[in-house]
Structure 1
Amino acid sequence: MRASTGLVEIIGLTEKFTFNPKEGIDNPVMVITDDADSVPTPSPRLCVLKREEGESYGFHLRVERGRQGHIIRKVMSGGVADCSGLQDGDRLLEVNNCYVDDVPHPEVARKIKLSGHQLCLLVLNGEEYEQTASRGQDLRDLVKAHKGESCKPPRLCHITRDPVSGLGINFTPVEGEKGHFSVSLVTGGAAEKAGVRKGDRLVWINGATVSDLTHSALSRMMKKCGNHITILVIDSESEKNYLRQRMPILPSMAVPHNLPHRARKLHLLSGPEGYGFLLRLERTPSGRISHVLREMDRGGPAERAGMQDGELLLEINGESVETLKHEEIVDRVRQSKEQVYFTTITSQGLEFYTQLGLSPLLFCEDDAAEEEKESSARASETEKSVQKEMDASDKSRLCSLQKGPLGFGFNLSCVPQSPGTFISQVAFGGSGQGAGLLVGDVVIEVNGQNVEGKCLEDVIMLVKEGGHFLSLLVMDKMSYNEEKQTDTLTRDVSKQEEDKCEISCL
């Protein structure tokens, strides 16, 4: 529809009329159509993936050069992801109701892998994502508008029977809603102390989803539970919102309350004689073969970090040790040089989560924190530090850092009034040194974005925007100058993508 002074021209009609504002627009020859220049509102999609034991989700998650966001690639035809509606090129906005567009790739991949056999992804078509980003629209606002009313996270509560009042909880079927149960509490009882609230709805009990249970089956489970029970609950209003959005309520979304066991993150700084402990491959009482931490040196780095004899090793520098051989773990410790991050748990703790069908890494307490905050949406998670193997002829290095007690452990500098940034100082024992940064290194990229032509202030701003995680592509000064002089820094586009992409097969 095109407007001219005093006239409205109707495309496709020959008749014209004079528009009188006082009479309004109720005219039989006037056709109201959408403005051709209007932009349709992007529409995120919710994809719920369920896989069987030993089955993959059937897609790759990538971060690619020159493209924003976490990109869905290689969706296996007929696989779990394909059947859920996931498409090649989709951008990932949320994992299990947690916004991840601005979260580093390793942490996003970790969230997916820890989800277990069920996964909830909110995605946006690739073209719509790029259009939204180009307009500068806040993707968080888009997600909020799509979801409507916000949902409070569920709570995973462990209840220990009180000698007098018992578990202090009862479940009643919700009238007209099969598989739904409301919670009633004994005031001041064990359940209430464990974080259960009056009016909560029961979602999951000791690893079993209650939507599949009758009231009599639930009652039998309660009688057999003994002195302990672990349940997933949510307030009734949030449950309605989850159901309206057709979003499953999963333990991986939960805030933990009163859990008897938690995995711990330990930060060890090497001493003159190493880290001061032994790593042994042992059979635990349950029959499981595990990597066990033993014989901490008195006053040594391991003991100072809080390591306890007999703990099981779950991760090294954010990488799961489940599929690693003993020698491979030892090599990774040696490659860490002056510092290493371990995630550990007791043998009893591992059995606790195994019986519930959950990963012990879902709820990991950080020993560096001054106090535990169970009211937060999630306990802090360790990032998987990924050191990329570069082509032998490529002298650039990709360094992945996680902020520690010394920050990122390096300083940036530049030549006054000139573009180009370099590492001017590396703190001993800091994250920068552990990642392999050296004084004099020229910074080429920050979190995948080229910064060769940017001023120091802009580079520092990009570093801060990355939060607690940082990826730097650097090159020693001599090699950088040689590359610039021979104009060989720019490589074939396909090789750049292969070298610089972060990929996780999920």
Structure 2
Amino acid sequence: MKQMKGLEGDTKSILKFEFNPKDGIDNPALSLAEDTDGKGLGEPRFYLLSKGSAETFGFCLHKELGCRGHVIRQVELGGLAQRRGLQDGDRLLQVNGHFVDHMEHCKVVEKIKASGNQVLLAVLDGGSYEAAKALGRDLSQMLPGDIRPRLCHVTRDKSGFGFSISGPEGAKGTFQLSVRRDGPAERAGLPSGSWLLELNGASVRSCSHTQLARKLKRSGSKMTLLVASSAAEEFYRLWGLRVTAALADASWLPFKVRKLHMVKEPEGYGFLLKEEKCSSGAIGQFLWEVDAGLPAERAGMKEGDRLLAVNGKSIEGLDHQQTVLRIRAHADQVTLLVIDPAGDEFYRSIGLSPLQFFEDSDPASGSCAPSLPSPNGSPGLCHLDVGPEGPGSWLTTAPATIGVAQSLRPEERRRLHQAF
């Protein structure tokens, strides 16, 4: 199916080429007809990309003039994306179960970046995408319903956790939940009839019923469950995809990333940024000495919050000085994403970034980096990468590398702090 140039008068028309045998093989007749049923449209395809920390996903995401949608380009030869089946010209429809076709390009890039080393993409081939748009199809309706698993954090009360588990006798890894009404599990968002996939960040696929019972007892007064509905479990099974917490709906979790927008006053923002070691041993940027009555306190900053992003861009991989420069990039205002110590510890325990589950309900604040052109216009194998100014849609030639500031010695780290 192909659209001819010079016949753009009716943008709703999809052109079909029909061969007329009476005119001979060298002179086929061209007749035009409207494909109003959309039966020729391809189906969305789903890919779960899992990479190592030193790898890339192996593709570029473009926003192109004269081309609708978020376009997959420069699929790296032999790279992860190509091996899984992504193709040049595919249009990205979903990231980790979130429909993104209507979103700003930079926000889509940020969603992929926040996924860390694993991302679930839904794409449609370019021809089917353009045809669906011409027909006025709602692309979101081409995708399955909510197939995300759910991540729930349950706190025990005097009556227990409020759920029970059953499964076929002798079978491993098959556990269905029955949830008591008005109990802790129901209040935590645990759906009755769902299937248990992970307990406290660990898969239960190889567990027997007895082994799982022991794990539940060792959980103490709190536990985190990854569960999926029967429809979601069936979807992932049919596509051969492994369900993990990185793909989950985390809206029921009590641990939330907070967005703080501050306008600077003559006294400053009213907080101190310190570089400190986290409980995991990693280095983080923390917020302390929040001054009463100044913008930081009024925005909701709390002592000990960990800084995650500045003006919509993750500070992952940045050192203290680079973070300070990013905060100072706009002289009179700044937007920070932060998480409190309890939430920070929770996400570390399950090995996921809290940014992965952040939903921006106020897209007007913060900032987005524009897509950048390929250096010198030169061709090359490209990948989605993090530039010196943070995540963005980069076209980076394969041999190119981005320098990382040398780690400071422990005695130097202790002196890193900056008042704002």
Who is 1:261 aligned against?
255
Residues 146 and 289 (structure 1 numbering): CA distance in 2 closer, same or farther, change over 3 Å? closer
Task: Write the deviation string for residues 368-398 of structure 1: whole angstroms up to 9, x where unpaired.
Answer: 99xxxxxxxxxx99865216789xxxxxxxx
Residues 85 and 389 (structure 1 numbering): CA distance in 2 closer, same or farther, change over 3 Å? closer
Answer yes or no: is the 8 Å Cα contact 1:312–1:347 preserved in 2. yes
Who is 2:101 aligned against?
101
**Is it true that 1:341 corresponds to 2:324 in the alignment?**
no
Residues 278 and 146 (structure 1 numbering): CA distance in 2 closer, same or farther, change over 3 Å? closer
Answer yes or no: is the 8 Å Cα contact 1:293–1:312 preserved in 2. yes
2:55 and 2:364 map into 1 onto residues whose CA distance is 25
TM-score under structure 2 normalisation? 0.73
**Is it true that 1:155 corresponds to 2:45 in the alignment?**
no
Question: Aligned pair count?
Answer: 354
Deviation at 1:238, TM superposition (A): 4.1
Who is 2:215 aligned against?
221
Deviation at 1:56, TM superposition (A): 2.1
Residues 286 and 76 (structure 1 numbering): CA distance in 2 closer, same or farther, change over 3 Å? same
Unmatched tracts of structure 2, length 5 or more: 1-18, 23-30, 380-391, 397-420
Answer yes or no: is the 8 Å Cα contact 1:59–1:505 preserved in 2. no
Who is 1:138 aligned against?
137
Residues 218 and 89 (structure 1 numbering): CA distance in 2 closer, same or farther, change over 3 Å? same
**Is it true that 1:312 corresponds to 2:306 in the alignment?**
yes
Query: What SS does the corresponding residue of 2:290 show, helix, strand or coil?
Result: coil
Q: Which moved more, 1:295-304 or 1:312-321?
A: 295-304
**Is it true that 1:75 corresponds to 2:82 in the alignment?**
no
2:368 to 385, 395, 398: 385
1:365 and 1:93 map into 2 onto residues whose CA distance is 17
Deviation at 1:344, TM superposition (A): 0.8
Unmatched tracts of structure 1, length 5 or more: 1-9, 14-34, 370-379, 391-491, 496-501
Who is 1:354 aligned against?
348
1:277 and 1:115 map into 2 onto residues whose CA distance is 29
2:226 and 2:72 map into 1 onto residues whose CA distance is 30
Residues 339 and 58 (structure 1 numbering): CA distance in 2 closer, same or farther, change over 3 Å? same
1:106 and 1:124 map into 2 onto residues whose CA distance is 20
Higher strand share: 1
2:84 and 2:191 map into 1 onto residues whose CA distance is 34
Who is 2:403 aligned against?
none
Residues 119 and 301 (structure 1 numbering): CA distance in 2 closer, same or farther, change over 3 Å? same
Task: Write the deviation string for residues 113-166 of structure 1: whole angstroms up to 9, x where unpaired.
Answer: 222443221112223333443x243242xx53464xx3454321101122x322
Deviation at 1:111, TM superposition (A): 1.6
1:175 and 1:361 map into 2 onto residues whose CA distance is 40
Q: 1:167 is matched by which residue type in structure 2? A: F
Answer yes or no: is the 8 Å Cα contact 1:364–1:381 preserved in 2. no
Answer yes or no: is the 8 Å Cα contact 2:171–2:208 preserved in 1. no
Residues 265 and 59 (structure 1 numbering): CA distance in 2 closer, same or farther, change over 3 Å? same
Answer yes or no: is the 8 Å Cα contact 2:106–2:370 preserved in 1. no
Query: What SS does the corresponding residue of 1:61 show, helix, strand or coil?
Result: strand
Answer yes or no: is the 8 Å Cα contact 1:200–1:236 preserved in 2. yes
Who is 2:191 aligned against?
197
**Is it true that 1:49 corresponds to 2:46 in the alignment?**
no
Deviation at 1:257, TM superposition (A): 5.5
1:324 and 1:60 map into 2 onto residues whose CA distance is 23
Answer yes or no: is the 8 Å Cα contact 2:148–2:228 preserved in 1. yes
Query: What SS does the corresponding residue of 1:322 show, helix, strand or coil?
Result: coil
Aligned residue runs from structure 1 range 222-237, under 5 A: 222-237=216-231
Answer yes or no: is the 8 Å Cα contact 1:72–1:91 preserved in 2. yes
Query: What SS does the corresponding residue of 2:356 show, helix, strand or coil?
Result: coil
Query: What SS does the corresponding residue of 2:68 show, helix, strand or coil?
Result: coil
Deviation at 1:203, TM superposition (A): 2.3
Query: What SS does the corresponding residue of 2:72 show, helix, strand or coil?
Result: strand
Residues 59 and 145 (structure 1 numbering): CA distance in 2 closer, same or farther, change over 3 Å? closer
Who is 1:503 aligned against?
393
**Is it true that 1:210 corresponds to 2:204 in the alignment?**
yes
Who is 1:436 aligned against?
none
Who is 1:185 aligned against?
179
Query: Percent identical across equivalent pairs?
Result: 40
Residues 12 and 329 (structure 1 numbering): CA distance in 2 closer, same or farther, change over 3 Å? closer
Answer yes or no: is the 8 Å Cα contact 2:370–2:393 preserved in 1. no
Deviation at 1:45, TM superposition (A): 1.8
Q: 2:153 is matched by which residue type in structure 1? A: H
Who is 1:63 aligned against?
63
Residues 299 and 126 (structure 1 numbering): CA distance in 2 closer, same or farther, change over 3 Å? same
Q: Which moved more, 1:261-270 or 1:331-340?
A: 331-340
2:364 and 2:162 map into 1 onto residues whose CA distance is 32
2:167 and 2:368 map into 1 onto residues whose CA distance is 47
Q: 2:156 is matched by which residue type in structure 1? A: R
**Is it true that 1:332 corresponds to 2:331 in the alignment?**
no
Query: What SS does the corresponding residue of 2:52 show, helix, strand or coil?
Result: coil
Residues 237 and 334 (structure 1 numbering): CA distance in 2 closer, same or farther, change over 3 Å? closer
1:74 and 1:95 map into 2 onto residues whose CA distance is 19
Q: 2:213 is matched by which residue type in structure 1? A: S
Residues 260 and 247 (structure 1 numbering): CA distance in 2 closer, same or farther, change over 3 Å? same
Answer yes or no: is the 8 Å Cα contact 1:170–1:184 preserved in 2. yes
**Cα RMSD, aligned residues only:** 3.5
Answer yes or no: is the 8 Å Cα contact 1:270–1:338 preserved in 2. yes
Aligned residue runs from structure 1 range 421-460, under 5 A: none
2:232 and 2:366 map into 1 onto residues whose CA distance is 30
Q: 1:385 is matched by which residue type in structure 2? A: C
Who is 2:291 aligned against?
297
Answer yes or no: is the 8 Å Cα contact 1:183–1:199 preserved in 2. yes
Answer yes or no: is the 8 Å Cα contact 2:50–2:119 preserved in 1. yes
